[in-house]
Structure 1
Amino acid sequence: MLAEKTFPVAISARHIHLSEADVEALFGTGATLTKDFDLSQPGQFAAKERVSIEGPKGVIHNVRVLGPVRPATQLEVSKTDALKLGVNPPLRQSGDVANSAGITIKNGERELAIEQGVIIAQAHIHMTPADAQEFGVQNNEVVSVEVESERPVTFRGIVVRVSEQFSLEMHIDTDEANAGFIQQQAKGKIIKSS
């Protein structure tokens, strides 16, 4: 039965994607990102590089940079992070940074202020077209997902993202995970309305 098929749920901690120009601004002319380890999504990796992020109210150090470089710099934080920093980022799909919050990014003495690029990432499920067919969903469809945990929770407003480049996995942030006592690689299932 389609509704009973499950998928892994991954917890996405705060991280930053940098443009090529911003990598050079923060790490020096000609600098490139150094792969630390591969992530679950094909071609994506955690870089060895880390930065500090500073808002009007606070600083968070040791923020992981993810690669490869992106056309535009994007910082993904939780609501709790945003409160600590004193910024008010919108809830958005990854890549949708127009008119989002700004922040200062630091690496030692190097500093870069971005006027937009800070978002709280909307929870989403990565799927291949074959996965989408199996689950009976389409790209950009919004679904509800029940996650198995000590404190079971159903998330609403989860965006399905379909691409041949994806690997089946749902991504939530640390606030969402903490609210539901969710551990890495918990299982989720799509709840179809009758």
Structure 2
Amino acid sequence: MNKEKIRVIVEEMIRNSLQKSKLVPIAASNRHIHLSPEHVERLFGRGYELTKLKDLSQPKQFAAKETVTLIGPKGKIQNVRILGPARGSTQVEVSLFDGYTLGVKPPIRNSGDINGSEPITILGPRGQITIKEGLICAARHIHMHTSDGETFGVHDGDLVQVKVDGVRGVIFSNVLIRVSPKYKLEMHIDLDEANAAGITNGKLGEIIAVESRKQVGGE
């Protein structure tokens, strides 16, 4: 049996175990940026394509070798990692503390909900752009494969509570469930939240309640 088959079997065993106990692995997400194809070219040059540094936990997503600098009214943050592949609209995700550094107030939003969000200037090696909206603090959420959603008894768009044990144990409210056959089970929080609760990547949280259920199929 080759290493790839062993990895798949082990991951399946872990996932089955987590599903039975409603446990979810947690990852702390550092500041990063998603760029549109147009903005990739404006920052790095015509015809430029992002270079993969490493794969991320979610399938077909990767951290690029390229970084940019964010420039706000009061300060700047260098070496902000670009995540690929390029997407339709540019979106910058920072923590609330990063907002203080930059001198802006990023709204807490679900990914993709950038209407009316904060502007920011982005500096690359070949150019600079200022977007009128797109800077947010990403709301805490859980990626789930469709099979995970069925086992956990939740739907895409539900809000749940997640309990994390430890010296600085905490219960996270308003955690958005995102279900897709393209996703892998993982909860994402930002560094502010992780540091406050003493959470490191791989820490397990337990879904203990559904706060708000999305209306699905007339339910």
Greater shift in the superposed pair: 150-159 or 163-172: 150-159
- Report the alpha carbon displacement of residue 2 of structure 1 after superposing the two structures with TM: 7.0
Query: Any conservation in 2 of the 1:8–1:170 contact (CA below 8 Å)?
Result: yes
- Report the alpha carbon displacement of residue 147 of structure 1 after superposing the two structures with TM: 1.6
- Distance in 2 (alpha carbons) for counterparts of 1:66 and 1:150: 33
Q: 1:83 aligns with which of 100, 111, 115?
A: 100
TM-aligned CA distance change 1:8 to 1:2, over 3 Å: closer
Establish whether residue 55 from structure 1 lines up as the match of residue 83 from structure 2: no
- Report the alpha carbon displacement of residue 150 of structure 1 after superposing the two structures with TM: 3.0
Task: Identify, as 1 or 2, the structure richer in strand.
Answer: 1
- How many residue pairs get aligned? The number is 194
Deviation digits for residues 65-124 of structure 1 (CA, Å, limit 9, x no counterpart): 000001000000000001110111111111111111010000246211111000000000
Larger of the two Rg values belongs to structure? 2
TM-score by length of 2: 0.85
Give the residue type in structure 2 aligned to 1:10: A
Q: Which runs of 4+ in 1 moved over 4 A?
A: none
Greater shift in the superposed pair: 82-91 or 48-57: 82-91
Deviation digits for residues 165-190 of structure 1 (CA, Å, limit 9, x no counterpart): 00000000000001101011100110
State the secondary structure of the residue aligned to 1:156: strand
Query: Any conservation in 2 of the 1:127–1:163 contact (CA below 8 Å)?
Result: yes
Report sequence identity in percent.
51
Give the residue type in structure 1 aligned to 2:198: F
Task: Identify, as 1 or 2, the structure richer in helix.
Answer: 2
Establish whether residue 38 from structure 1 lines up as the match of residue 89 from structure 2: no
TM-score by length of 1: 0.96
Q: Report the RMSD for the aligned CA atoms in angstroms.
A: 1.6
Greater shift in the superposed pair: 103-112 or 180-189: 103-112
Query: Any conservation in 1 of the 2:44–2:125 contact (CA below 8 Å)?
Result: no
Unaligned runs of 5+ in 1: none
- Report the alpha carbon displacement of residue 193 of structure 1 after superposing the two structures with TM: 6.3
